[in-house]
Structure 1
Amino acid sequence: YREGYNNPQVSDENLIGLSRARRPNNAIFVNFDDEGTPTEPLDAAVQNWKKVCTNPVDKKAEEELRKLFEVRPVWSRNAVKANISVHPDKLKLLLPYLAYYMLTGPWRSLWVRFGYDPRKHPEAKIYQVLDFRIRCGMKYGKRTQTTETLSLLSLSHTVSVHDLKQGLGTSGASGAKKSASSTYKLKESIYIFREGALPPYRQMFYQLCDLNVESLQKIIHRNDGTELECTERDGWCLSKTSDDLRDSMSLMIKQMIRSTRPALFSTTTSNEDGKEQLAYETGEEEDDEEEEEEEFKPSEGSENEMETEILDYV
């Protein structure tokens, strides 16, 4: 949150969609300042999942998600979708069966294992969320994907328990074709930030443990062992940690694009500070890039899936 930000007052007057029928997913929502921690799902959530868990594939997905929450207690939905293959509609029912959803604070928009309270564990700072946006001037045309993004492969090979717990994902390449077991898996780039690779969208929601760059991890861990208080703005991290991370990530992206695709940069005289601005290419090359875009669809529906995820449960 920015300095001086206050959560808006919630009332019937400023809520949208009150007349819409509530979706029967029965997730438990928790605000940062709520007391207590949910320890089990709602009965309705249990019943909903049992109704649709009718075949070995569904039971396997449940077992795999349980294992994910055992080694890492906090997950974004996109991170889950990059690690297990499950139909999106069934995942909407499975998540409330195993975890509760944080609405505000440093773990907002994330799913937390029942019984675990990140507000009480300083080590949970690695699971905090970072809202990162490419902060450059754009020439808005058709949304395009770069070859750097397209080269990132889906998570289709074995990951160690340590990797899952600490984040960082996997690396390397695999030429194998997509198997039936990874039908619904998203690409790793949807939740992991790596130096030298562009984010697939202009706005991304990363967990701090999934910023796979040593210099960024040093920023996150610079107060290890001296955490005194968990605040709604910064969690267990030092003040301004999110700002420092965004500055470093923006610089990495600018340097990477300047070295690989200098044509995207233009110096405009209209800028008061005279700084370079990043401009998306438009024109004849869009036809070729549009074909690439069809091959890479990391998320169904909204590009800001984590922003609108709550709409699936209200």
Structure 2
Amino acid sequence: MEGSGTVYLPQNKKPMVCVEYPGIVQNVDKMLQTLGGEKSVSRIYADPTRRLELYFRPNDPYCHPLCANRFPTTTMILRVKKRVRRKKANEMQISEPNQEGSISMEIIGVVGTVYKFQGMSDFQYLAFTRSSDGTITSLYDKVLLKKPEKEEFFHQDIVYHIPPPIFSRLDSAIDYHYRPNVNHREGFQSPQVSSENLIGLSRARRPHNAIFVNFEDNEVPRKPHQAAVKNWEKLCTNAIDIHAEEEMKRLFNIRPVWSRSAIKANISLHPDKLKMLLPYVAYYMLTGPWRSLWVRFDYDPRKHPEAKIYQVLDFRIRCGMKYGYAANDMPVKAKRSTYNYSLPITIKKPAPQMVSIQELTQGLGTSTISSSKKAPSNKYKLKESVYIFQDGTLPPYRQMFYQLCDLQVESLQAVIHKNDGKESQCTERDGWCLPKTSDQLRDAMSLMIKQIIRSKRPALFSGPSTSTENKEQLTYESGEEEDDEEEEEEFHPSEGSENEMETELLDYV
């Protein structure tokens, strides 16, 4: 009705999506090409966690996108027409104003989602070279393969063109609020700053008073720091904590050397309390065959040949064309990668909930929980697969730190105990074992894992490779690699990661 504020929407109108394009559109086809085409827009619209990407140079593989945020909206698209009487050429102009023509409106569709480009455009990286006279030459014809090329194409001289794998992680401006210097407590000593890191720490680390021992050190500690004792006595406030302390001491009486992953699989204790309890009962080995392991106080594995069963083995699942399967074909989780950043093209997921103070102070729970629910005593307990290797099962991660006693395979134990009673010297690389024992164990474990993957995914090994497999079988049995260059001489613990038995320096320094 004319003059009414009520609008009736037609039933046959389909919902529409609006994109606030940051530019003047003169060609619709080219505009859709910068958005990836209609299929790309539809695919991104179907996933609410994705952001719409705009490439100003869609044919340039080095072009970085501008991302749009998704917002719900309730708007309509109207087509407005106004009838205006056109004057004839022979009509004389008159001073009287023309009367306004009739206006008609039509609802084309209803918009329920709108994409708005609110961020800044990312850095752009162009492939070109500049000569001494200022001439600019493009490198796209040399760095991009458009057709199969001969070998000479890859041996031609070319200017180095190594684009960075990632640019800015944020596409919106943020305010950096400068803070004054932190006022530490009395007696605080500023951490030493090396020439490689001129930016010091903003606050003092929370001391956990762990004792670190290197393989070259002459003596091992006999008791914990007094501060570690006070910290644990202050934190141990209930019966559950006392029981955890007794269980921890019982474990170290049974076995003097433990990994933190193995401890987590045998004791259910909050990680923050575990950080306080471990320095109270054991010291930490930094280097040598027992590196990244916790050792009972007053026990020196370098003086006891029977301690070789507690040595650490850095095992990494081998993958590649040489072994018959690629990294993407592995049914095992990968380590944390450098590329696992929160990129601008995705929406951040909600952060995990923080642990309540009541949970830390009162323990893991009360005894009034019904039997139908999972017992709280196992809330923080890990599975045995995080530290035990068994034939027929795959490791949970591609890199694992095993203790030799946790390799529950008879053939592996035979290699470990080959020199029982003949141990003469404890070396930093091999400990009490024979030289290259770790290499033989890795070869045998890799062959077992390959057989498991073969049984789970036989399509990966369907090609004719009998002669190669026979040769590889002999290679694994002899414990030698085909090429000396591929032999892994040293294995270093990776920087903190939850998918391995990691070094805990960051937690205790």
Instruction: Give the secondary-structure state (helix, strand or coil) at the position aligned to 2:430.
Output: coil
Structure 1 residues 17 and 215 mapped into 2: Cα distance closer, same or farther (>3 Å)? farther
Q: Which has the higher contact order (CA 8 A, sep 6+)?
A: 1
Amino acid at match of 1:107: W
Match of 1:103 in 2: 286
Gaps of 5+ in 1: 1-10, 147-175, 276-300
Structure 1 residues 14 and 304 mapped into 2: Cα distance closer, same or farther (>3 Å)? farther
Between 250-259 and 136-145, report the one with greater CA deviation: 136-145
Structure 1 residues 140 and 250 mapped into 2: Cα distance closer, same or farther (>3 Å)? closer
Which of 257, 264, 270 pairs up with 1:81?
Answer: 264
Instruction: Give the secondary-structure state (helix, strand or coil) at the position aligned to 1:132.
Output: strand
CA distance in 1, matches of 2:449, 2:218: 40
Instruction: Give the secondary-structure state (helix, strand or coil) at the position aligned to 2:313.
Output: strand
Which of 7, 19, 32 pairs up with 2:201?
Answer: 19
CA distance in 2, matches of 1:71, 1:117: 15
Superposed displacement of residue 267, structure 1: 5.7
Does the alignment pair 1:309 with 2:492? no
Structure 1 contact 201–303 (Cα < 8 Å) conserved: no
Structure 1 residues 257 and 96 mapped into 2: Cα distance closer, same or farther (>3 Å)? same
Structure 1 contact 268–274 (Cα < 8 Å) conserved: no
Amino acid at match of 1:189: S
CA distance in 2, matches of 1:312, 1:257: 36
Structure 1 contact 84–185 (Cα < 8 Å) conserved: yes
What does the per-residue CA deviation read over 1:88-120, in whole Å, with 9 as the maximum and x for residues that have no partner? 110011000000000000000000000000000
Match of 1:256 in 2: 452
Does the alignment pair 1:28 with 2:220? no
Structure 1 residues 215 and 18 mapped into 2: Cα distance closer, same or farther (>3 Å)? farther
Alignment of 1:8-157 (within 5 A): 12-13=194-195, 19=201, 21-137=204-320, 139-140=326-327
Does the alignment pair 1:224 with 2:426? no
Instruction: Give the secondary-structure state (helix, strand or coil) at the position aligned to 2:396.
Output: coil
What does the per-residue CA deviation read over 1:284-308, in whole Å, with 9 as the maximum and x for residues that have no partner? xxxxxxxxxxxxxxxxx82344334
CA distance in 2, matches of 1:16, 1:102: 28
* RMSD of aligned residue pairs (Cα, Å): 2.9
Amino acid at match of 2:422: T
Match of 1:240 in 2: 436
Superposed displacement of residue 256, structure 1: 1.5
Structure 1 residues 227 and 90 mapped into 2: Cα distance closer, same or farther (>3 Å)? same
Structure 1 contact 267–274 (Cα < 8 Å) conserved: no
Superposed displacement of residue 74, structure 1: 0.1
Structure 2 contact 332–395 (Cα < 8 Å) conserved: no
Q: How many residues align?
A: 249
Instruction: Give the secondary-structure state (helix, strand or coil) at the position aligned to 2:315.
Output: strand
Superposed displacement of residue 243, structure 1: 0.2
Identity %: 70
Does the alignment pair 1:209 with 2:401? no
Match of 1:281 in 2: none
Gaps of 5+ in 2: 1-192, 334-371, 471-495
Amino acid at match of 1:257: I
Structure 1 contact 99–114 (Cα < 8 Å) conserved: yes
Amino acid at match of 1:19: L
Structure 1 residues 212 and 99 mapped into 2: Cα distance closer, same or farther (>3 Å)? same
Amino acid at match of 2:265: A
Amino acid at match of 1:200: P
Structure with higher strand content = 2
CA distance in 1, matches of 2:267, 2:499: 20
Q: Which has the larger radius of gyration?
A: 2
Structure 1 residues 68 and 88 mapped into 2: Cα distance closer, same or farther (>3 Å)? same
Amino acid at match of 1:312: D
